[in-house]
Amino acid sequence: MKSIKGVLYWITGLSGAGKTTIGNYLYYILRQNQDNVVLLDGDILKAIVADSCTYTEEDRHNRAHKYARLCKTLTDQGMVVICCTIAMFDDVRKWNRENNRGYVEVFLDVPMDVLKKRDQKGLYSSQARGLTKNLSGVDMRTEFPKNPDITICNDGSISIKECVDIILKHQIQYATAFDRDTTYWNLFYASNPEIEHPSLFAQYVYEQLENGKTLLELGCGNGRDSVYFSEKVDVTAIDASDKAISDLNKKYQDRSGIRFLCDDFVCAAALFQRQYDYCYSRFTLHAISEEQELSVISNVRHALKDSGLFFIEVRSINDELYGKGKPAGKNAFIYNGHYRRFIVLEELKNHLVQNGFRITYAEEAKGFAPFGDSDPPIIRIVAKVNNSNN
Ligand code: ADP
């Protein structure tokens, strides 16, 4: 058996469907061949996150998101994770598929009469007697998997070993390497003379940074702003252009307090492995779709400390380039072979607020980023993590 890495097996099904039994068996089979396998069982996880142990839909949903983020943190580091959990939420499964390198969703679909007969935890009979509420698949809204990779009717007609064989035979689909216009940017950085001075936005942000804190830059390009920030704070800078990152790593290999990583900034491993005081995104949110914008905002929220600040500068729908080129979705166009999505200030503010930020500054104005003869209105936002302590 070939060893694998960076894969999440998300084993889901109603209570009693056989998640723990099958997940355990799968774990021991994989462990015969490799060490990087972790089993996370819902009952164990639930006991660990004891702060949110009720069974309301909201608590279940929050827990499911926590488990999903834990799984991703591990798959990013090459682990094979087997997570056995009911977590019947479409958005959580969608997040898993988008955020893990390899993802196998296994749905143990077992008829209710079989589950009721098994009733190992006594939940179904207790619900019938009115003693248990919010039981998935019975008296609670349940979003069953819509497109699992594997569906197994674990009603006892096939053995546990046969179930695991089905899972092991599955050809894992790995996420295709991200493409954030990498070819465009590689050419751009190869052919444009280096702009060394920091942007006006970076100069505005610099004044607000406290010495010795940590900053994550999403889409650092040629590193002009990151290097400037590193005079004051510890910088982690991400960009999709392998050309830009390898040039930066060569140029600044002896410089401490700054590291350049080639990754997809929407779901980069760096967003999940530590927390930062600041996150900086200049002209990057308009390079991704609205859906990806929501993903990255949510990921940044979790990657920031409780007092964290998110600095954003982005093109607005009032830009002179708006409408040029081929339409490519809401407020988006492909112009000169390059994707750009123009932002509505109020919409972006709403997305930030919905994801746990408080807007401390927002403005759309000319003069923020003049370039040659052009001086379009540009959006600037500073958002602060919204929690009870600030
Ligand atoms: P879950 O983790 O989904 O709640 P479990 O793995 O704990 O489910 O299984 C619930 C019960 O059903 C256990 O007693 C288990 O031994 C039994 N079980 C699971 N799969 C089968 C099967 N294929 N045939 C018979 N019993 C099964």
Nearest CA to ligand 1 atom 19: 18
Whether 161 and 20 map to the same domain: the answer is yes
Q: What is the pLDDT of residue 2?
A: 86
The span from the CA of 96 to the CA of 94, in Å, is 5
Q: Average the pLDDT over 161-173 and give the result.
A: 97
The structure's pTM equals 0.89
22 Cα: distance to centroid of ligand 1 (angstroms): 8
The residue whose CB lies within 8 Å of the most ligand 1 atoms, and thus the one to mutate among 12, 120, 135, is 120
Domain assignment of residue 175, yes or no: no
Residues forming beta bridges with residue 218, ordered by sequence position: 238
The span from the CA of 237 to the CA of 263, in Å, is 10
**Ligand 1 close to Cβ of residue 12 (< 6 A):** no
Domain assignment of residue 176, yes or no: no
Confidence band for 187, pLDDT divided at 50, 70 and 90? confident
Whether 340 and 363 map to the same domain: the answer is yes
Which residues form the domain of 284?
182-385
Whether 98 and 193 map to the same domain: the answer is no
Ligand 1 atom closest to the Cα of residue 43 is 2
120 Cα: distance to centroid of ligand 1 (angstroms): 8
DSSP state of 158: S
Domain assignment of residue 390, yes or no: no
Whether 209 and 153 map to the same domain: the answer is no
Whether 140 and 230 map to the same domain: the answer is no
Ligand 1 atom closest to the Cα of residue 155 is 23
Q: What is the pLDDT of residue 184?
A: 76
Whether 155 and 204 map to the same domain: the answer is no
The residue whose CB lies within 8 Å of the most ligand 1 atoms, and thus the one to mutate among 14, 21, 153, 165, is 21
Among 147, 169, 191, identify where a domain stops: 169
Q: Is the pLDDT of residue 390 over 60?
A: no
Among 118, 140, 169, identify where a domain stops: 169
| Domain harbouring 266, CATH code | 3.40.50.150
Average pLDDT, the chain: 93
| Domain harbouring 50, CATH code | 3.40.50.300
Whether 257 and 321 map to the same domain: the answer is yes
Q: Is the pLDDT of residue 260 over 70?
A: yes
Span 5-43, pLDDT tens digits: 999 999 999 999 999 999 999 999 999 999 999 999 999
173 Cα: distance to centroid of ligand 1 (angstroms): 28
86 Cα: distance to centroid of ligand 1 (angstroms): 13
How many beta carbons lie within 10 A of that of residue 89, not counting itself? 19
**For the chain, what is the domain count?**
2
Whether 90 and 205 map to the same domain: the answer is no
Q: Average the pLDDT over 293-298 and give the result.
A: 96
Q: Is the pLDDT of residue 298 over 90?
A: yes
C-alpha closest to that of 186 among 105, 243, 268: 243
Whether 35 and 112 map to the same domain: the answer is yes
Nearest CA to ligand 1 atom 5: 18
**Ligand 1 close to Cβ of residue 13 (< 6 A):** yes
Q: What is the pLDDT of residue 140?
A: 87
Whether 70 and 157 map to the same domain: the answer is yes
Highest mean pLDDT among 15-19, 56-60, 187-191, 369-373: 15-19
Domain assignment of residue 177, yes or no: no
C-alpha closest to that of 37 among 28, 49, 48: 28
Q: What is the pLDDT of residue 196?
A: 78
- Based on its alpha-carbon atoms, the radius of gyration of the chain, rounded to whole angstroms, reads 24
140 Cα: distance to centroid of ligand 1 (angstroms): 21
Whether 134 and 197 map to the same domain: the answer is no
Q: Average the pLDDT over 43-47 and give the result.
A: 91
Q: Average the pLDDT over 163-175 and give the result.
A: 95
* High-pLDDT (> 70) share of the chain, %: 97
Planar angle of CA 189, 194, 199, nearest 5 degrees: 105
Q: Is the pLDDT of residue 141 over 70?
A: yes
Q: Is the pLDDT of residue 388 over 70?
A: no
Among 169, 196, 212, identify where a domain stops: 169
